[in-house]
């Protein structure tokens, strides 16, 4: 390849404290033939002013007056990009300088590759390197395409913001499905659709810093503050299973009734699963030495309380 243009898409929402580092990590890439699309998805802090402070002529800023919950804004920008390849950068993460250069090589080495990920490290609330991750096309298919059948993998999850995608793969799939706006699993569903038609690969180099921070979208998924997040994985599993094994597009307009039915099933499954987990935690705790010791120490007070209650009861009578 001669120097193909790479479009970098950076969606932003209320990331004033982090966006400069995220964008800066793209501006300092060793590969320089870039166009950088920074999306301000109706931020309510000073994210937009931070974005507008960049002067690099490769940057294009898109501002939305109303929040599109990421999916709408990114899909809109994907129709405007000019790159032969498109990669992503979360606005609170940052990339290592050789990320884009090394990813491009994978497409040059194999024309069947439609998507390329990289290894990563956790930063922020969970500082550590990722463990074993899916590297080959076969392992990525196990992770994403078999998502609807088996989620028991022996490796850490692929971080989707590390992906670089060929223009052909973007045009074939059209970007995120609108159903996933404001929901978790939008990335997984899109990657699943790409891998149905294209080969995938992961570079086993730590080229991305994945910032797990309080208040981030990833953190909110597990905070219990949004009921839909609780059953998203069960629902996505059913959507993919129906597509692969029954050739049913659950997200098509004619299958709205089926989608509602699967949403309810997924909600019930998530509820039962969480009740089971709570009961297991309760069982372990009540059978622990600390609980038994505490209970034995409280026995004299419990006995005294019962005696006092009986005494007061007799006096009232």
Look at residue 224 in the predicted model and tell me its pLDDT.
52
3-class DSSP assignment, residue 12: strand
Q: Using 70 as the pLDDT threshold, list the residues of the chain that sit under it.
A: 1, 148-153, 213-229, 273-274, 277, 285, 291-292, 294-295, 297-298, 301-317
Look at residue 287 in the predicted model and tell me its pLDDT.
75
- What are phi and psi for residue 82, nearest 5 degrees? -110, -5
Look at residue 295 in the predicted model and tell me its pLDDT.
65
Contact 239, 250 (CB under 8 A): yes
Look at residue 20 in the predicted model and tell me its pLDDT.
96
**Rounded Cα distance, 219 and 235, in Å:** 20
Please state whether beta strands 6-12 and 85-88 pair in parallel, antiparallel, or not at all (unpaired): parallel
**Rounded Cα distance, 239 and 259, in Å:** 8
Look at residue 301 in the predicted model and tell me its pLDDT.
64
Burial 72-104 (b: 16+ CB within 10 A, else e): bbbbebbeebebbbbbbbbbbbbbbeebbebbb
Look at residue 212 in the predicted model and tell me its pLDDT.
80
**Rounded Cα distance, 205 and 288, in Å:** 43
**Rounded Cα distance, 43 and 40, in Å:** 6
This prediction has a pTM of: 0.83
**Rounded Cα distance, 170 and 6, in Å:** 13
Look at residue 302 in the predicted model and tell me its pLDDT.
65
Look at residue 57 in the predicted model and tell me its pLDDT.
97
């Amino acid at each position: 390849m001669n120097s193909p243009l790479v479009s970098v898409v950076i969606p932003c929402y209320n990331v004033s404290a982090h966006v400069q580092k995220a964008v800066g990590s793209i501006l300092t890439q060793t590969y320089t033939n870039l166009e950088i699309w920074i999306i301000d998805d109706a931020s309510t802090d000073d994210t937009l002013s931070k974005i507008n402070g960049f002067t690099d002529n490769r940057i294009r800023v898109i501002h939305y007056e109303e929040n599109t919950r990421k999916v709408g804004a990114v899909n809109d920008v994907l129709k405007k990009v000019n790159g032969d390849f498109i990669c992503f950068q979360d606005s609170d993460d940052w990339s290592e300088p050789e990320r884009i250069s090394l990813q491009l090589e994978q497409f040059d080495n194999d024309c069947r590759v439609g998507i390329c990920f990289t290894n990563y490290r956790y930063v922020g609330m969970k500082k550590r390197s990722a463990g074993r991750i899916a590297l080959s096309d076969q392992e990525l298919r196990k992770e994403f395409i078999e998502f609807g059948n088996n989620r028991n993998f022996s490796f850490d999850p692929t971080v989707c913001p590390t992906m670089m995608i060929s223009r052909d793969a973007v045009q074939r799939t059209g970007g995120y499905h609108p159903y996933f706006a404001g929901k978790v699993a939008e990335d997984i569903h899109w990657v699943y659709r790409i891998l149905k038609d294209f080969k995938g690969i992961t570079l086993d180099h730590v080229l991305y810093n994945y910032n797990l921070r309080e208040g981030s979208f990833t953190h909110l998924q597990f905070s219990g503050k949004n009921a839909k997040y609780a059953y998203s994985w069960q629902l996505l599993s059913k959507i993919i299973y129906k597509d692969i094994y029954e050739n049913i597009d659950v997200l098509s307009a004619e299958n709205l009734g089926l989608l509602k039915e699967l949403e309810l099933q997924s909600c019930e499954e998530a509820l039962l699963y969480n009740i089971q987990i709570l009961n297991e935690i309760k069982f372990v705790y009540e059978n622990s030495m600390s609980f038994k010791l505490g209970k034995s120490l409280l026995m004299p007070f419990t006995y005294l309380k019962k005696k006092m209650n009986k005494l007061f009861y007799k006096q009232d009578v």
